[in-house]
Amino acid sequence: MEKADYFIRFPAFQRAPMLSSNSEFSLLAREMNWKKDSRRYRKERANFLASEFNIYYGSNATKLENWQALCVELDISDSIGSITQCRKALGNVHVNLVDLVDCRRNGQTARRFPSVAALQKYTKKTDKIFPRSAAKEDGFLKALLRVIY
C-alpha cells in the first residue's frame, strides 16, 4: 500500500508529514474519532505504520539492494553481499521501528540500542510500539522485530 493510498481514504485529513508518525496518526485518529483502545484504532495504526515503512524502505524483501540500503542506514557496512548476510547482520541490531520510520521522515539517523533490554525499556517508556502483526508480514521488519512485552 503506497503512502498516498493510505490517506486517500481520508480526503478531508490535512497531512502533517513533518510530525512524527505517532503524532500524525494521532491527529488522524482524533479526526476519525477512533479510540486508542479500540480494535479499529489498532488496525488502522498497523496499516498506517506498515505503509510508511514500505514507502521509505520498500516492500520487496527479495531485492538485495533494499536489504543493503537498510544495512547502510543502520551503519552496517560489512557482510552485506547477500540477503542472508544482511538478515544475519540485522539480527544483531536493536532499533525502535517507529523511530526508524520517523528518521526517514525527518532525515535523521535511527538510534541503535546496545541490547534488547535497553530497546524494551525505551519502547515501553515512549510507547513507540510497532504493531507485531504488521512487522511479521514484512521481510525487512521481521529481521528487526524484537519481543518488547
Question: What is the Cα–Cα distance from 135 to 131, expressed in whole angstroms?
Answer: 6
Q: What is the pLDDT of residues 24-41, one digit of tens each?
A: 999 999 999 999 999 999
Over residues 126-143, the mean pLDDT reads: 79
CB 46 within 8 A of CB 29: no
pTM: 0.85
Q: What is the pLDDT of residue 112?
A: 95
Higher pLDDT, 134 or 15: 15
Query: What does the mean pLDDT of the chain come to?
Result: 88
Virtual torsion, Cα 132, 136, 140, 143, nearest 10 deg = 80
Query: In whole angstroms, what is the distance from residue 119 CA to residue 147 CA?
Result: 10
SS3 for the chain is: CCHHHHHHCCCCCCCCCCCCHHHHHHHHHHHHCCCCCCHHHHHHHHHHHHHHHHHHHCCCCCCHHHHHHHHHHCCCCCCCCCHHHHHHHHCCCEECHHHHHHHHHHCCCCCEECCHHHHHHHHHHHCCCCCHHHHHHCHHHHHHCCCCC
The answer for 109, left when phi > 0, alpha when psi is -120 to 50, beta otherwise, is beta
Q: pLDDT tens for residues 123-132?
A: 999 999 988 8
pLDDT tier at 137, thresholds 50, 70, 90 = low
What is the model's pLDDT at position 42?
92
